[in-house]
């Protein structure tokens, strides 16, 4: 390594530290920074561009360009060479800028005199804040050492920008983490909430990015890496029972903790003048930039491991763990990059108002828990975890997938009106709690609730549900690091039946696979997991866990009625095999002398189009059938419900889909087999009304939907609505929704 270069870099950072330490205003600091960098680099021009909004860069300070262009010159991301650096998040080095692809001449700056151009992104942990540029008249490419030195300087500028060192007038110099920001994401669970941010993993703040004593910083880095190695070795030593995938992750952690190349790069950063924490964060930023460029999923996963190891090291160096001493607000809205079901359930006792995730999916573990709690969940909500601060006001609109962070007063007022209106509606629904969901023409519809936790069951009383149409049993498996014991499950299921009293509970057997992978189960590398090895396919191929769960259900019932439903049945033989497995366990329990259920009903979830056309024996042999609307709809339209581009393209009230639902209902009626519709659409009042008009007399939904659905059913003549639906279908309409909505706007007789 060139020691002269190290010394020059340290001197430059030392001058920058002195410039930043004064009492000058943000604009004055920025101006001094550009002068210092230009002088140290021996160039005529140094400019700093910062984002004024998500798409627009603004020239905020310059040495060498015309002063009048400051705060006037702007460009879109991707526009010109500066915009390219911001978009690509990597340096651009050219000896002849005007000849470079995408060059944009800005006459107000006077930059036509300068040939060479070096731009590096000012970025921190994947978030680009701006671009640092140097230019000179001489046609020359900048050396690797000069590029490296500029990246070190840009790292310091990113940290100081984060700490508010350059706050001034105008949007580009506005304080970070104070602006109103709107994020759009996927809807994991509907609903509206207003509260204050509680970060699952508060970000680490590097308060001193410039080293006072490089030798001391190297010592601190050595100690932190030794501590990291020891903690990873300890995890490996205690993870003997972990599955192969968990062991691979820990081995990757150990590999990175012992990586000489990773360590050497951080040591070089320290030698150039960065503090140990800033050096770690610089490498972490570089890792995240590479993650965005790598298409290979395996390499991305390894880079993700390195990012996680860097984060662990950073927390060791700064002492900033997840416990910051901050107090959780009374109305917490959890904000995180991602979160597992066990971690999320830990928050349950503290009454979260909503959950907002940067990652996640609408069918993830977190979504299952959020639905069980009936709280709004937004997934894929942009970089909210790095933008939000603990205590920030946040509005979550789960109906439209929108999150307002630090909203303007007008947005707050409108949202409060929305919440007040929803609260008034809920009050109105409370009065219907003990009344039947009976239409004006006398059709009675059974409204059951979906559940998955003991905490859900008080909703049986408060919502007026007729029973539990779907109890998801996988949550007890997803939230533990080992397979639950049979007696634990039996106790849990018994408590559920106790709480439900005389109301029916339909237990769905373990529905895992796809995106619901047990922590102790080896994940399957499948090209399309939703169509892969999941649910009943896993249960029949690996019957040990399923047998244990069936035994627990039988023992829990002990003299009471038991309803068991098998998920994702795709052919008649799968249902017969699963039912035979249940009856074998009943016989086994009988031989052991255990008390058996009074009555056992065995049903199936109809989630694949194949079962709509199943042999008549399927409908005859099943004691009941539940139409699993979420999966059935995605397979019917070949539209992945995780894919926002296609998910909303197809209407549930599409005539073709309604024809399928009506056919399933007709086949069940002919066989005398009870049928219900279960899924998100069952809880949407208009959709629920149409299903009822087509003849479905049982619907299962989240507890909060029962009031709105019941309210609408009690106002409508289902026979009259059926004629409207039939007329719309006969007319060749693609969807019956317009005709139904028009019908509902006519005066209805309420009861």
Give the contacts of 272 (CB within 8 A, at least 6 positions apart): 5, 6, 9, 10, 13, 148, 149, 152
pLDDT at position 523 is: 57
pLDDT at position 426 is: 78
On the CB side of 424, how many CA atoms lie within 13 Å of its CA? 6
Average of per-residue pLDDT across 524-541: 76
* Higher-confidence position of 703 and 253: 703
Instruction: Provide the percentage of residues in the chain whose pLDDT is more than 90.
Output: 46
Secondary element (H or E) of residue 130: strand 127-136
Alpha carbon distance 464, 710 (integer Å): 10
Tokens of 46: 């140094």
CA distances from 653 to 276, 725, 731 (A): 59, 10, 15
pLDDT at 645 over 60: yes
Alpha helices for 42-95 (secondary structure H):
80-88
678 is catalytic: yes
* Higher-confidence position of 709 and 112: 709
pLDDT digits (tens, 9 = 90+) for 173-195: 877 777 888 999 888 888 899 99
215 is catalytic: no
pLDDT digits (tens, 9 = 90+) for 469-526: 999 898 777 766 678 889 999 999 999 999 999 899 999 998 876 555 555 455 556 6
Dihedral sign from CA coordinates of 357, 363, 365, 371: positive
Q: Are 707 and 435 in contact (CB under 8 A)?
A: no
Torsion of CA 555, 558, 562, 564, to 10 degrees: 10
Q: Exactly one of 46, 60, 668, 678 is catalytic; name it.
A: 678
Alpha helices for 163-213 (secondary structure H):
none
pLDDT digits (tens, 9 = 90+) for 114-137: 889 999 999 887 788 999 999 999
pLDDT digits (tens, 9 = 90+) for 232-263: 888 777 765 555 656 777 777 788 888 888 89
Dihedral sign from CA coordinates of 15, 18, 21, 24: negative
Average of per-residue pLDDT across 27-35: 90
For the chain, give every domain's residue range: 3-173, 181-202+324-412, 214-318, 437-745
- Could you tell me whether strands 192-199 and 332-336 are parallel, antiparallel, or unpaired per DSSP bridges? parallel
Neighbour order of strands in the sheet with 402-405:
181-184, 402-405, 393-397, 192-199, 332-336, 354-357, 377-379, 186-189
On the CB side of 19, how many CA atoms lie within 13 Å of its CA? 22
CATH T-level assignment (fold) for domain 181-202+324-412 = Glucose Oxidase; domain 1 (3.50.30)
pLDDT at position 519 is: 52
206 confidence band (pLDDT: 50, 70, 90): confident
- Can you give the C-alpha Rg of the chain in angstroms? 31
pLDDT at 325 over 60: no
Which has the minimum average pLDDT: 141-150, 557-566, 596-605, 714-723? 141-150
pLDDT digits (tens, 9 = 90+) for 443-470: 999 999 998 877 778 888 888 899 999 9
pLDDT at 375 over 90: no
pLDDT at 748 over 70: no
Q: Which of 253, 258, 248, 265 minimizes the C-alpha distance to 309? A: 253
Which has the minimum average pLDDT: 282-286, 556-560, 626-630, 731-735? 282-286
Tokens of 735: 């969807």
∠ Cα 132 18 264 (to 5°)? 60
Write down the number of H helices and E strands in the chain. Answer: 28, 23
Tokens of 435: 């009344």
Averaged confidence pLDDT in the chain: 86
pLDDT digits (tens, 9 = 90+) for 685-700: 999 999 999 999 999 9
Alpha carbon distance 81, 121 (integer Å): 12
Q: Which of 417, 401, 455, 464 minimizes the C-alpha distance to 705? A: 464
pLDDT at position 355 is: 93
Give the contacts of 266 (CB within 8 A, at least 6 positions apart): 221, 276, 279, 280, 282, 283
364 confidence band (pLDDT: 50, 70, 90): low
CATH T-level assignment (fold) for domain 3-173 = Beta-Lactamase (3.30.450)
pLDDT digits (tens, 9 = 90+) for 2-16: 554 556 777 888 888
Which has the minimum average pLDDT: 107-121, 398-412, 708-722? 107-121
Burial (Cβ within 10 Å: 0-12, 13-18, ≥19) of residue 224: buried
Which has the minimum average pLDDT: 312-321, 437-446, 477-486? 477-486
pLDDT at 35 over 90: yes
Question: What does the DSSP 8-state code read for residue 454?
Answer: G
pLDDT at position 515 is: 53
User: Please, which residues bridge with residue 678 across strands?
Assistant: 628, 700
Secondary element (H or E) of residue 34: helix 26-41
pLDDT at 76 over 60: yes
SS (H, E, C) 506-519: EEECCCCECCECCC
pLDDT at position 547 is: 94
* Higher-confidence position of 294 and 281: 281
**DSSP secondary structure of 361-418:** -TTSHHHHHHHHHT--EEES-TTHHHH--TT-EEEEETTTTEEEES--HHHHHHHHHH
Average of per-residue pLDDT across 160-166: 82
Q: Are 556 and 497 in contact (CB under 8 A)?
A: yes
109 confidence band (pLDDT: 50, 70, 90): confident
Q: Exactly one of 365, 380, 404, 711 is catalytic; name it.
A: 365
pLDDT at position 110 is: 78
Enter the CATH code of domain 437-745.
3.20.20.60
Average of per-residue pLDDT across 340-350: 71
User: Please, which residues bridge with residue 6 across strands?
Assistant: none
Alpha carbon distance 224, 245 (integer Å): 26
**DSSP secondary structure of 596-661:** PPSEEEEEEEE-SHHHHT--HHHHHH-SEEEEEHHHHHHHHTT--TT-HHHHTTS-TTBHHHHHHH
User: Please, which residues bridge with residue 586 across strands?
Assistant: none
Give the contacts of 673 (CB within 8 A, at least 6 positions apart): 619, 620, 622, 623, 624, 625
The rounded Cα 156 to chain-centroid distance in angstroms is 31
| Architecture (CATH level 2) of domain 214-318 | Orthogonal Bundle (1.10)
């Amino acid at each position: 390594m060139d020691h002269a270069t190290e010394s020059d870099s340290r001197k430059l950072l030392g001058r920058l530290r002195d410039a930043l330490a004064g009492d000058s205003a943000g604009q004055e600091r920025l101006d001094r920074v550009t002068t210092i960098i230009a002088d140290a680099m021996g160039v005529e021009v140094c400019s700093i561009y910062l984002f004024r909004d998500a798409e627009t860069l603004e020239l905020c300070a310059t040495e060498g360009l015309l002063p009048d262009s400051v705060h006037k010159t702007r460009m879109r991301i991707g526009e010109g060479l500066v915009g390219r650096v911001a978009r690509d998040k990597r340096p651009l080095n050219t000896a002849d800028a005007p000849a470079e692809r995408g060059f944009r001449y800005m006459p107000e700056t006077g930059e036509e005199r300068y040939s060479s151009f070096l731009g590096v992104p000012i970025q921190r942990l994947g978030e680009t804040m701006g671009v640092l540029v140097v230019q000179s008249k001489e046609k020359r490419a900048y050396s690797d050492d000069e590029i490296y030195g500029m990246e070190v300087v840009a790292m310091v500028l990113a940290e100081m920008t984060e700490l508010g060192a350059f706050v001034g007038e105008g949007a580009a110099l506005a304080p970070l983490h104070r602006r109103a920001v709107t994020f759009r994401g996927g809807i994991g669970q509907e609903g509206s909430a207003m509260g204050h941010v509680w970060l699952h993993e508060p970000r680490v703040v590097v308060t001193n990015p410039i080293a006072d004593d490089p030798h001391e910083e190297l010592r601190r880095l050595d100690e932190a890496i030794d501590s990291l190695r020891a903690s990873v070795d300890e995890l490996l030593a205690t993870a003997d029972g972990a599955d192969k995938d968990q062991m691979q992750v820990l081995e990757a952690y150990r590999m990175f903790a012992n990586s000489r190349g990773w360590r050497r790069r951080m040591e070089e950063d320290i030698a150039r003048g960065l503090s140990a924490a800033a050096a770690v964060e610089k490498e972490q930023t570089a890792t995240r930039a590479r993650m965005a460029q790598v298409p290979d999923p395996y390499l991305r996963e390894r880079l993700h491991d390195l990012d996680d190891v860097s984060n662990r090291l950073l927390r060791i160096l700064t002492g900033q763990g997840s416990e910051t001493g901050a107090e959780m607000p009374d109305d917490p809205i959890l904000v995180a990059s991602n979160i597992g079901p066990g971690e999320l359930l830990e928050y349950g006792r503290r009454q979260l108002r909503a959950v907002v995730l940067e990652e996640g999916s609408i069918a993830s573990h977190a979504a299952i828990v959020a639905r069980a709690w009936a709280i709004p969940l937004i997934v894929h909500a942009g970089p909210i975890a790095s933008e939000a601060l603990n205590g920030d006001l946040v509005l979550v609109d789960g109906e439209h997938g929108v999150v307002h962070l630090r909203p303007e007063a007008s947005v707050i007022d409108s949202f409060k009106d929305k919440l007040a209106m929803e609260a008034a509606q809920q009050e109105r629904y409370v009065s219907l709690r003990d009344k039947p969901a009976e239409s004006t023409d006398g059709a009675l519809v059974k409204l059951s609730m979906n559940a998955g936790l003991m905490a859900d069951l008080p909703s049986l009383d408060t919502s007026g549900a007729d029973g539990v149409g779907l109890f998801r049993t996988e949550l007890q498996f997803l939230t533990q690091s080992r397979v639950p014991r049979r007696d634990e499950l039996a106790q849990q299921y018994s408590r559920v039946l106790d709480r439900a009293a005389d109301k029916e509970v339909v237990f769905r057997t373990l529905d895992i696979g796809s995106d619901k992978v047990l922590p102790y189960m080896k994940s399957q590398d499948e090209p399309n997991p939703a169509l892969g090895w999941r649910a009943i396919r896993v249960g029949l191929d690996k019957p040990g866990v399923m047998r244990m769960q069936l035994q627990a259900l039988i023992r829990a019932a002990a003299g009471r009625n038991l309803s068991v439903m098998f998920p994702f049945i795709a052919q008649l033989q799968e249902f017969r095999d699963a039912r035979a497995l249940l009856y074998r366990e009943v016989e086994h329990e009988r031989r052991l002398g255990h008390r058996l259920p009074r009555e056992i009903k065995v049903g199936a979830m109809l989630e694949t189009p194949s079962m709509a056309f199943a042999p008549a024996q399927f409908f005859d042999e099943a004691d009941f059938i539940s139409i699993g609307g979420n999966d059935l709809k995605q397979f019917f339209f070949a539209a992945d419900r995780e894919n926002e581009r296609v998910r909303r393209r197809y209407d549930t009230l599409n005539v073709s889909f309604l024809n399928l639902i009506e056919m399933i209902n007709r086949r069940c009626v002919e066989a005398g087999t009870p049928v219900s519709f279960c899924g998100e659409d069952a809880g949407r009042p208009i959709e629920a009304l149409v299903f009822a008009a087509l003849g479905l007399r049982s619907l299962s939904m989240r507890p909060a939907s029962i009031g709105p659905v019941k309210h609408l059913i009690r106002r409508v003549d289902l026979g009259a609505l059926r004629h409207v639906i039939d007329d719309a279908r006969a007319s060749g309409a693609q969807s019956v929704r317009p005709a139904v909505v028009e019908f509902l706007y006519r005066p209805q007789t309420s009861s």
